[in-house]
Amino acid sequence: MPERTVEIDIRKDLFGANEEAAAMNAATFKDHGITAIDIMGSVGTGKTQIIEALCDRLKGMYRILMIAGDLATTIDADRVSSHGVDTVQINTRTACHLDARMVRVALNDVDLSLYDLVFIENVGNLICPAGYSLGVDKKVVVVSVTEGPYMVRKHPLTIKRSDMVVINKIDLAEAIGVDVDSLVNDVREVDARIPVYSVSAKSDTGIDRLIEGLGL
Amino acid sequence: MPERTVEIDIRKDLFGANEEAAAMNAATFKDHGITAIDIMGSVGTGKTQIIEALCDRLKGMYRILMIAGDLATTIDADRVSSHGVDTVQINTRTACHLDARMVRVALNDVDLSLYDLVFIENVGNLICPAGYSLGVDKKVVVVSVTEGPYMVRKHPLTIKRSDMVVINKIDLAEAIGVDVDSLVNDVREVDARIPVYSVSAKSDTGIDRLIEGLGL
């Protein structure tokens, strides 16, 4: 079970205030020496699975907090909690993304001196979360071969607004009939500077390289 | 200085204008004897594949128009065009869903007397499209076993706002490790009245039952 479940009323959140709240979050993270990473991507791409794999590797080295964003349920926070990591669940009810003020509400609710690494799992959605800064060090987008061959080409803005692309579930590429190299090339065509990591969180492939890429 | 400053509740205004445009679209469809179906769901769930399968079956009986919504590319419209069906692509650039006004612009651009069945493939997103009426006869949400086991439970509002749920790619259920019956039960728990159809558009399974369910 997560440490807390925070219910957010989006009607109180104004779009224009997001950048301000993001800057405040960034300052808060910096003050506490915390590295914060926003993990975006559609439902079912394996964001939670990747966070679980990262936590298993990193929990001896970092004091980790995971903040999970979902419209409903505490499924993701519960999964990560079971790895011995503290979690906070944000339920956005109708909102299709986290914004900086929701994260601020969650941060105000925990003792940040207890942590030095925060994973924020955004609401499962390949589009909207990319438009909202949360004040993190890195925005990572997770795509999965199970999304088929077109998700990168169809979402160039999400890719451009990310600091890193993770292609997950490469173990299923053959069964699904999706070519991983061609997805990597699609990312390069959108922006050749964005690092791409191909992984299978399930079969624990590529996680060490991903950790290096994240600078952790 | 302006004579007056009027404060607009953006969301109220957007939704209000959308309902008005949706009512106009509904009237336009009715005037032309057109059945219109909005097909929603995440990227890679097989919305286009299902429309292709439906077009192959139905193009002898109906004069079909397909309207495709995507942030970028004409991939989906191109695919459906190759089945000998007329298509219109809407590129929303940044918008995470179609709204009734976008559909209205598309409808104004074609001779509607040429059609009696319109499939609207919404932007690939399991959340936002459900909040916007387009003026259609039926809103169908496509989920796929490739989205994992939680997409229904995490998105009860999308399910509730749909007239039908289609579970696609059941041929991959075993490889992915997702139980189709359990997804069906999740839908029933959200709203027992919503019909659920399990299909594999790729292997042409369940398409005839789906067509019956759509009343076509």
Strand bridging mode A35-40 / A138-144: parallel
With H, G, I as helix, E, B as strand and everything else as coil, classify residue A142: strand
In a domain? residue B25: yes
Residue B148 sits in a domain whose CATH number is 3.40.50.300
Q: What residues make up the domain containing B118? A: 10-211
Please determine, for residue B7, whether its predicted confidence score (pLDDT) is greater than 70. Answer: no
Interface test with B, best of A11, A141, A147 (most B CBs within 10 A): A147
- Cα gap B66→B85, rounded to integer Å: 7
Candidates A11, A71, A126; nearest CB to B154: A71
With H, G, I as helix, E, B as strand and everything else as coil, classify residue A148: coil
pLDDT for A15 equals: 59
In a domain? residue B133: yes
Q: Where are the alpha helices (DSSP H) in B3-141?
A: 10-31, 47-58, 75-81, 100-108
In a domain? residue B216: no
- Cα gap A19→B90, rounded to integer Å: 30
Q: Which stretches in chain A have pLDDT values below 50?
A: 11
pLDDT in tens, B110-158: 999 999 999 999 999 999 999 999 999 999 999 999 999 999 999 999 9
CA nearest neighbour of A50 among A61, A37, A60: A37
Candidates B72, B125, B175; nearest CB to A172: B175
Enter the ipTM. 0.89
Calculate mean pLDDT across residues B57-70.
Answer: 96
In a domain? residue B82: yes
Question: What's A17's DSSP letter?
Answer: G
- Cα gap B128→B99, rounded to integer Å: 10
pLDDT for B9 equals: 44
In a domain? residue B5: no
pLDDT in tens, B71-102: 989 999 999 999 999 999 998 888 899 999 99
Find, in chain A, the residue whose alpha carbon is nearest to that of B156.
Answer: A72
List CB contacts of B46: < 8 A, sequence separation 6 or more: A148, B142, B144, B168, B169, B201, B202
Inter-axis angle of helices A100-108 and A18-31, to 10 degrees? 40
CB distance A43–B44 less than 8 Å? Answer: no
| Tally of domains in chain A | 1
pLDDT for B160 equals: 97
In a domain? residue B131: yes
Asked if B26 and B118 touch (Cβ cutoff 8 Å), the reply is no
Interface test with A, best of B94, B121, B147 (most A CBs within 10 A): B147
Question: What's A200's DSSP letter?
Answer: B
- Cα gap B185→A80, rounded to integer Å: 25
Calculate mean pLDDT across residues B58-66.
Answer: 97
In a domain? residue B2: no
In a domain? residue B3: no
Calculate mean pLDDT across residues B52-66.
Answer: 97
List CB contacts of B24: < 8 A, sequence separation 6 or more: B100, B104, B135
pLDDT for B212 equals: 98
Calculate mean pLDDT across residues B162-181.
Answer: 97
CB distance A150–B94 less than 8 Å? Answer: no
pLDDT for A9 equals: 52
